Amino acid sequence: MKKMFLIALAGMAIAHAPAWAQTQDEANAKFAAQDWTGAAADYKALLDDDPSNAQNWYNLARALHQSEDVEGARDAYLKALEAGVQSAAGAHYHLARAYMALGDEKAAMEQLETLAEVGGVPGRFVENTAEFAELAGDDRFKKIVIALTPCTDEEYRHFDFWLGEWDVTSAGAAQPTASSKISSQQNGCVILEEYTAGGFTGMSINFYDSVTERWHQSWMSNAGAAVYLEGGLDEDGAMVMSDEGMTTNEVTGNIGRTTWTPNKDGSVRQLWEQSTDGGASWNVVFDGTYTRKESKE
């Protein structure tokens, strides 16, 4: 009798063992394999034992959403946010999608405005989401997209005067000595320079660093010499960048400084100088004028 009681007790213990001990890996594996129905069932079992698991609520929401159970997904997203899910941006974004699918535009917009404050989902991605197509003309939606679009602040446009395709003429030369293509890349976050002078070629990436609040240039050519500069606009609107205080300067003991000045006629002067005496005097390394190539049309 005692033996039978112990067996029964053991059976009860097994029956009530935490589901996560057996199925968490299985649930995650099904989710990764896009077995949405199986994953949803497993996450529901896990949440019966641990309803405070924010990530499982979020994964359940995603599985239900993919299974087109939009109402169930909505409720699970709300639970995930209530539990403090780490991927809050994703939860707000997908919850807004769910609300739109359910015809609740007001709730969807509230989620999107919260997303705009949290960040984490690119504005263009939001703008191109099918569920939000009918919001395209809404001013509130436009503001959300702008808020979620990086590199749109005024500082990111400070070097736009250098954009274009150019003939480059060195000081004293009668004809162009090089050509350069300066283009906007990475949705306006990077300015890419591609420079050619006969067999010599080089390129640089230029970008505004919102953390340091300074512009940065990293240059490399087929001659193998790297250049790293930092700086920003001066009071006259010229872009001035230098390697003073950077590793290159500390190693060589020299200071490099480059100034790009927009001219009234639309050309740009690039002046590269170097100092070997701590900035007391400067020697010109390169002085050239960028003139826009004539259109072939």
Over residues 162-196, the pLDDT tens digits come to 999 999 999 999 999 999 999 999 989 999 999 99
Same domain, 56 and 189: no
Q: How many domains does the chain have?
A: 2
Same domain, 16 and 138: yes
**Residue after which a domain boundary falls, among 133, 148, 163:** 148
179 in any annotated domain: yes
112 in any annotated domain: yes
How does pLDDT run across 236-279, given as a tens digit for each residue?
999 999 999 887 777 778 999 999 999 999 999 999 999 999 99
297 in any annotated domain: no
CATH number of the domain bearing residue 167: 2.40.128.20
Same domain, 101 and 168: no
pTM of the model: 0.67
What percent of the chain clears pLDDT 90, i.e. is strictly above it? Answer: 83
Handedness of CA 264, 231, 255, 200 (dihedral sign): negative
Instruction: Tell me which residue range forms the domain holding 11.
Output: 2-148
88 in any annotated domain: yes
84 in any annotated domain: yes
132 in any annotated domain: yes
